[in-house]
Amino acid sequence: MSTRNSSFTESENYSQETDMASLAAAMSEASRMKILCALMDGRAWTATELSAVAGIAASTTSSHLSRLVKANLVSCLSQGRHRYFRLYNSRIASLLENMMGVTFQASNPSRSKVPKELLKARTCYDHLAGEVAVKLYESLITHGWIESDGNDLTLLGKEKFLHLGITLDTKSKRKKCCPCLDWSERKFHVGGFLGASLLIFFENNNWIEKVPGYREVTITPKGYKALHRHFLIEG
């Protein structure tokens, strides 16, 4: 009886390990990683755009995208005669963010190559990351807008966000908020539905401007003033 259970466990583990190896293999190519990192800006890209950012031929890009789609790292959206590609889900974005953190901390040359603007503020799939985002997370906890573990809003926070005009969809299956480890700061920024809602709110109110085709985000003069007024964040 114990032998059967042992064999079942080994078989189950082997299947998972095989799946993990397959996922790693799908990511283990520099051009495919460039494609995945480009998609971290949260937009849907065409194959032509991804070909340009990866610096490879269209035919090669098509082959790489097929591999990424098959591995459930990227999803394909068809609209008319056009096809768009985006990250499969937020879990893939979190995986990439963690990988960036590991390589950023382990390699000094990598640090020197990262533009300061990208370290200041950038997109992490569908929410804000970087120095400013970490300061925002710390401010929300300090002033009691979110719980100390970052996994839920407080009653005060719900009132404050509602006053700002940020309404959180209670029907969403996604976590209202959660801590997301920032790869450059090695501290948390705000993820989950709240993180995504804040990014949309900041952009709609011209507090930030996204740099087209890149993850870089620029904080506008209006944004710096608003972040200080509402969240006591210094520029």
Using one digit for the tens of pLDDT, what is the confidence trace for 141-192?
A: 999 999 999 999 999 999 999 999 987 766 767 788 999 888 888 889 999 8
How far apart CA 73 and CA 152 sit, in angstroms, is: 28
Q: What is the CATH number of domain 2-88?
A: 1.10.10.10
Report domain extents, the chain: 2-88, 91-231
Note the pTM of the prediction, 2 decimals. 0.71
Exposure string over 86-107, b if 16+ CB within 10 A, otherwise e: bbbebebbbebbeebbeebeee
pLDDT interval class at 12 (50, 70, 90): low
Arithmetic mean of pLDDT, 5-12? 54
φ and ψ at residue 216, rounded to 5 degrees: -65, 140
pLDDT for the residue 108: 56
pLDDT in tens, 72-106: 999 998 888 889 999 998 889 888 888 887 777 65
Query: What CA–CA distance (Å, rounded) separates 26 from 201?
Result: 35
Decide: helix, strand or coil at residue 120: helix
pLDDT at 42: 80
pLDDT the model gives residue 2: 47
Cβ atoms of residues 12 and 18 within 8 Å:
no
AA letter at 124: C
CB-CB contact of 65 with 97 (8 Å): no
What pLDDT is recorded for position 36? 93
E-only strand ranges, the chain: 74-79, 82-87, 122-124, 127-129, 178-181, 188-191, 208-210, 217-219
What DSSP letter does each residue of 90-114 carry, written as one string? HHHHHHHHHHHHHHHHH-HHHHHHS
